[in-house]
Amino acid sequence: MSSLDLKLKRILVTGGGGFLGRQVLEQLKLAGATPEKITVPRSQDYDLRQMDACQQVVQNQDIIIHLAAHVGGIGLNREKPAELFYDNLMMGTQLIHSAYQAGVEKFVCVGTICAYPKFTPIPFKEENLWNGYPEETNAPYGIAKKALLVQLQSYRQQYGFNGVFLLPVNLYGPEDNFDPGSSHVIPALIHKVWQAQKQGEKSLPAWGDGSPSREFLYSTDAARAIVMATQKYNDSEPVNLGTGSEITIRDLVELICELMEFKGEIIWQTDKPNGQPRRCLDTERAKKAFGFTAEMDFRQGLKNTIEWYRENAK
Question: What stretch of H or E contains 259?
Answer: helix 249-259
Q: 277 φ, ψ to 5°?
A: -60, -50
User: Kind of pairing, strands 38-39 and 11-14?
Assistant: parallel
Show the domains of the chain with their CATH numbers. 11-173+216-245+277-295 (3.40.50.720)
Give percent of the chain with pLDDT exceeding 90: 85
Question: What stretch of H or E contains 248?
Answer: strand 247-248
Predicted confidence (pLDDT) at residue 150 exceeds the cutoff of 90 = yes
Taking Cα atoms as reference points, which of 120, 115, 143 lies closest to residue 280? 120
3 state DSSP class of 267:
strand
Largest Cα–Cα distance of the chain, in whole Å? Answer: 61
Q: Are the beta carbons of 187 and 176 closer than 8 angstroms?
A: yes
Q: What average pLDDT does this structure show over 27-56?
A: 97
pLDDT score recorded for residue 73: 67
pLDDT score recorded for residue 74: 65
Q: Are the beta carbons of 32 and 9 closer than 8 angstroms?
A: no
Q: Round to whole Å and give the CA distance between 11 and 66.
A: 11
pLDDT score recorded for residue 275: 76
- For residue 141, indicate whether it is catalytic: yes
Q: What is the DSSP letter of 270?
A: T
Highest mean pLDDT among 21-30, 185-194, 264-273: 21-30
pTM: 0.93
Residue tagged active-site, from 116, 141, 172, 309: 141
pLDDT score recorded for residue 21: 97
pLDDT score recorded for residue 112: 92
Mean pLDDT score of the chain: 94
Q: What average pLDDT does this structure show over 149-156?
A: 98
Q: 89 φ, ψ to 5°?
A: -65, -50
Q: What average pLDDT does this structure show over 90-111?
A: 98
Asked, as a colleague might, if the bond just before 238 is cis with ω within 30 of 0, I would say no
- Per residue in 54-92, pLDDT (tens digit) is 999 999 999 999 999 987 666 677 888 999 999 999 999
